[in-house]
Structure 1
């Protein structure tokens, strides 16, 4: 794990992004009381716009209303979530 200042990160962003791509953990310290962990966004975690998010919710609600869903037991759901 590498801990760097925000100034160091600004000055050498490419260097630290390359390290992150090689699975190195990079923490950026901002002031005395704030720090941030930099992690890559994986393909399956792609971000969506607010409009896309609401469209996905609307589609899910429509599928539910049409009976296109699977009911699972509470314990099975906990297992699915790894709880």
Structure 2
């Protein structure tokens, strides 16, 4: 994978089978339960692109990689 700057990352948490983001990078909604499935997270950790539609504002985050703490997106998510 090409190097992506830290501005392209967004933290997430996995609790059981649920995947949360503390805050939506697009609309600012807090404590967002995503519709991402465990198999999609596994694909992202294997460096397959995964599209995540944020349920709060319906914006699409294209995840190009994931690690145990962060999604790495194809666009800047931090200012």
- By relative contact order (CA 8 Å, sep 6+), the higher-ranking structure is 2
Q: TM-score scaled to structure 1, two decimals?
A: 0.28
Whichever structure has more strand as a proportion of its residues is: 2
Q: TM-score scaled to structure 2, two decimals?
A: 0.29
Whichever structure has more helix as a proportion of its residues is: 1
Structure with greater Cα Rg:
1
